[in-house]
Amino acid sequence: MISPKHHYIFSFTFLSFVLIPLTTSSFLATIKTADALTLKQSPPVALLTGATGRTGQIVTNELLKKGFQVRIFCRDGQKAKEIFRNNDDNGIDYLKNIEFCQGDLGNENDIQAAFSNASKKLTHVIFMAGGEDADYRVVSYQGLAKFAQKATAVECNTIRHFVVISTAWCTKPYSIASLLFNTLYFDTLPMASYYLGEQALRKAAAGVTDKNSSLNYVILRAGGLNSDERYAEKYPDAATMGLTYQQGDTFDFFGIAGRPGMSRSQLANAVLSAVDVEGQYTVEVTGSGNVDLNDSSFYQELRQDDNSKAVIANNRDDDDDTAVFDTHTQAVKQLKNTAIAASLGGIAMIGIYGWFQGLVLLLSLDAIIILLWSRFFANKQAY
C-alpha cells in the first residue's frame, strides 16, 4: 500500500519527468507544425534578377498573376518601378506585391542585402540576369555563384527552389555558337561564364547537408532566342508549337535550336513551369516541340544531376575556373588562326587564278573548313 508520502513523491516524479516533458514536446511540435503550415500557406516569395529584361518582364507578370510576391534585384529601382507600373493588367495594380532592391551583381554587400533585407521569407530564386550589355564574367558566373551561396546559407533555409536561365552549347567551346558568342564578347567569354555559373550552383546545392533544407534547382540552357514579334512573323508554324527539352548539351546549331529557336514568351513559360519542380536538373530547351508550354510533369522522366563530383571540386575552384576560361580562349584563338590562314590562302589563289576563280576557290575552301570543323570539332564536349 502506497503511503500519502510515497503518493506525493510518485506524483511529483511523474509530473516532473513524464507529464511536463510530454506536454512541452507536444506544444513545441504544435508550434513547429503551425510554422510550417503558415509558411506553406503563405504566398510564395521569389527573388528575381533580370526581371526588367524582355523575358524577365513576362516571367514577373505571370508570377504576380499566380499569387507570388516578388522581390526584384535591379540596378535602377526607379526605372524598374516605372516598368511595372505600366504593366498593370486590366487595371490591377501589382506593385503592391513587388519589393525593389537596388544593387549590382558585382557588389557582394548588395547581394547580401537582397537576401537579408527582404520583408518576408524568400521561397524561390529566379536568376535571369544577362544579355548583350552584361559583363558575363561578373553576372553569369560570379553573380550567380554569390546568389547560389546565399540561397543555400543556413539563414535562408526557407528557399526551396532556384531557376536559372543559361545557354545551350556552353560545354562545347568549339561549337559554332560558342565560337561566335565568345568572339563577339571575348573579354568576358560568355559561354565559359555561363558554364561556371552553372557549376557554382551545383556545388552550392551539393554542399547542403540538411535533407530538410535541400535546394531544388532547374538550369535551363536556352537554345536560339527571338523576340515574340520576329518569331511569329518569320516562323508562324513554330510559334504555335510547344517546347523541346533535351539533356547532355546535344542541340545541333544547324537544327531547330539554331533556327527557328524559340520566342521569349516560350522561354518565359519554360521558367514558369520549372519554379516548383522537385529535384536538381540541367536541361536544354528550345521551341518546335510537343511539350505543352505549362507542363512540368516530364521532369519526372529526366535524369537528375549527379553532383558528387561538384563536392570534390569545391577545394579547387580557382584551378577549375582557369582551366575553363583557358579552354574557351584557346578555341577562339584556333578559330582566328584558321581564319587568317584561309584569308592568306584566298589572297594567294586570287593572285594566281584571278578574282573570279580565286574567289570561288576561297569560298569553296571556307565551306570545306566549316564542314570539317562542324564534323570533328564542334561537338567536342570539354566537360
CATH code of 141's domain:
3.40.50.720
- Co-location of 220 and 333 in the same domain: no
- Co-location of 356 and 281 in the same domain: no
Helix axis angle, 190-206 to 176-184, nearest 10°: 100
Instruction: Please give the average per-residue pLDDT across 18-37, as a whole number.
Output: 39
- Co-location of 173 and 201 in the same domain: yes
Half-sphere exposure of 33 (CA within 13 A, CB side): 6
- Co-location of 340 and 195 in the same domain: no
Instruction: Please give the average per-residue pLDDT across 80-97, as a whole number.
Output: 78
Highest mean pLDDT among 32-36, 186-190, 336-340: 186-190
Pairwise CA distance, residues 4 & 9, whole Å: 9
pTM: 0.84
All 3 cell numbers of residue 47? 527573388
Instruction: Please give the average per-residue pLDDT across 256-267, as a whole number.
Output: 95
For the chain, what is the domain count? Answer: 2
Round the average pLDDT of the chain to a whole number and report it.
84
- Co-location of 304 and 352 in the same domain: no
Given a cut of 70, whether residue 42 has pLDDT beyond it is yes
Is residue 40 assigned to a domain? no
pLDDT band at 3 (very low <50, low <70, confident <90, very high): very low
- Co-location of 343 and 298 in the same domain: no
Is residue 245 assigned to a domain? yes
Is residue 157 assigned to a domain? yes
Is residue 268 assigned to a domain? yes
- Co-location of 89 and 155 in the same domain: yes
Nearest to 121 by CA among 31, 35, 203, 63: 35
- Co-location of 53 and 74 in the same domain: yes
Single residue among 268, 284, 316 that ends a domain in this structure: 316
* pLDDT tens-digit readout, 284-323: 999 999 999 999 999 999 999 998 665 544 444 555 799 9
Rg of the chain over CA atoms, in angstroms? 27
- Co-location of 235 and 330 in the same domain: no
Is residue 12 assigned to a domain? no
Nearest to 60 by CA among 126, 151, 158, 139: 126
* pLDDT tens-digit readout, 198-217: 999 999 999 886 655 689 99
- Co-location of 298 and 191 in the same domain: yes
* pLDDT tens-digit readout, 63-77: 999 999 999 999 999
Single residue among 316, 342, 361 that ends a domain in this structure: 316
Is residue 147 assigned to a domain? yes
CB atoms within 10 A of CB 220: 23
Domain containing 342: what range? 324-379
* pLDDT tens-digit readout, 114-154: 999 999 999 999 999 987 778 999 999 999 999 999 999 98
Instruction: Please give the average per-residue pLDDT across 50-66, as a whole number.
Output: 95
- Co-location of 267 and 161 in the same domain: yes
